[in-house]
Amino acid sequence: MFARNVSIHLKPNTLNDFKQTFEKEIVPMLRKQAGFRDELALSGDNDAYVTAISFWDSKEQADAYNSSTYPTVLKTLDRYLDGPPKVRSSAVISSTSHKVTAAQVAAA
């Protein structure tokens, strides 16, 4: 399993609109992507920062999303963004909710 961690800095007072757009427009786009498993969105203590973590079956599928659909996601969210998001990618080594263990990762 693979994860994309996106750190987002929002313009002031846009968190509620961002959340609505994320749920109504972005999540449906993600659900149509091959290999998409889950999305977790978190907001920080102040409403200016959001972390969005998406889970994928493979790095290749996450990369395909990054090159094909992610540009559309950025355009959709642009009115809320205060600068470009920072994207980090990682192999998932353990997840209780996705039933991934370190032993399974080592065997892969």
Model confidence, pTM? 0.86
What pLDDT score does 46 carry?
82
Q: How many CB atoms lie within 10 A of CB 40?
A: 12
What pLDDT score does 107 carry?
55
What pLDDT score does 44 carry?
81
The CATH number of 2-107, from 3.20.20.370, 3.40.30.10, 3.40.50.720, 3.30.70.100, is: 3.30.70.100
Secondary structure in 3-state letters for the chain: CEEEEEEEEECCCCHHHHHHHHHHHHHHHHHCCCCEEEEEEEECCCCCEEEEEEEECCHHHHHHHHHHCHHHHHHHHHHHECCCCEEEEEECCCECCCCECHHHHHHC
What pLDDT score does 35 carry?
97
User: How do the pLDDT tens digits run along the chain, 108 residues long?
Assistant: 999 999 999 999 999 999 999 999 999 999 999 999 999 999 988 889 999 999 999 999 999 999 999 999 999 999 999 999 999 999 999 888 766 555 555 555
Q: Are 89 and 59 in contact (CB under 8 A)?
A: yes
Measured between alpha carbons, how far is 88 from 96 in angstroms, rounded to an integer? Answer: 21
